[in-house]
Structure 1
Amino acid sequence: MEHPDTLIPDVVLLDINMPKMNGFEVLAALKQHPRLQTIPVVMLSTSPNSEDVTQAYTLHASGYLIKSVRFQTSLKQVETFIDFWLKQRTIH
């Protein structure tokens, strides 16, 4: 059982390709959980496939980030996203 004082994240950066449960399955589960459903979720994928993008938004993702296949570039994208998110938190 979840403790009511358990900290929840301000945002989730969720990769689509994961073992056991894919990101879409995790997203669907998050959006059905009463305490977690309002957390913004940004999907992360190397796939620019419009069906993946549509599925993410259909499941109520807040954004879809296409990551680079190059590790260093992908890392920079994630760092940029985190910087952006932190700046948005201080504005609001």
Structure 2
Amino acid sequence: MKNILKVLLIEDDAIEVMKLNRAISSLQLKHQIVEANNGEEALEILKNKQIIPDIILLDLNMPKINGIEFLATLKKDEVLKYIPTIILTTSNNQKDLLECYKIGVAGYVLKPLKYEDYVSKIENLLSYWSINELIKI
């Protein structure tokens, strides 16, 4: 049985946020999406326990606190470090990829240009995490 996920989406681009919400809607998924515009806002949501997500979808290129800085901060927290964090980015920079895995990312997904390919990746990603046994914090 697939679980309904609480997903924290950390993305500063409004078009990318709309694209993810549109993909989830078109797939008729019931996952709860909470949006943060940058890493700083996401840390506030997490620290205030406004939501404890099952997974985090994280963009790398953001103002204030970028994705790698957010990930490093998250992984230092004794409770929050167990939340699976998946990078969802346009950056295919090998340095970024290696740094993210070194810090402890659960996955690194490149956003494809074609919308149909994007929907397929989102479907596979959320399907995978919805059948996993996730830690409830």
Length, aligned pairs only: 88
Instruction: Name whichever of 67-76 and 38-47 sits farther off.
Output: 67-76
Q: Which runs of 5 or more residues in structure 2 are unaligned?
A: 1-46
Query: In structure 2, what is the equivalent of residue 25 of structure 1?
Result: 69
CA RMSD of aligned residues (A): 2.2
Q: Deviations over 1:18-58 (max 9, x none)?
A: 22221111111111122201111111111222111101011
Q: Distance in 2 between matches of 1:34 and 1:82?
A: 25
Counterparts of 1:48 and 1:2, CA distance in 2: 33
TM-score by length of 1: 0.77
> Residues 18 and 67 of structure 1: is their aligned pair in 2 closer, same or farther, counting only changes over 3 Å?
same
1:66 aligns with 2:104: no
Aligned positions of 1:1-80 closer than 5 A: 2=48, 7-80=51-124
Larger relative contact order (Cα-Cα within 8 Å, sequence gap ≥ 6)? 2
The alignment-based identity, stated in percent, is 35
Q: Where do 4+ consecutive residues of structure 1 move more than 6 Å?
A: none
Gaps of 5+ in 1: none
Matched residue SS, 2:61: coil
Post-superposition offset of 1:7 = 4.3
What is the TM-score when the length of structure 2 is the normalising length?
Answer: 0.55
**Hey, what's the Cα distance between the residues in 2 that align with 1:15 and 1:2?**
21
Deviation at 1:11, TM superposition (A): 1.3
Q: Which amino acid aligns with 2:131?
A: K
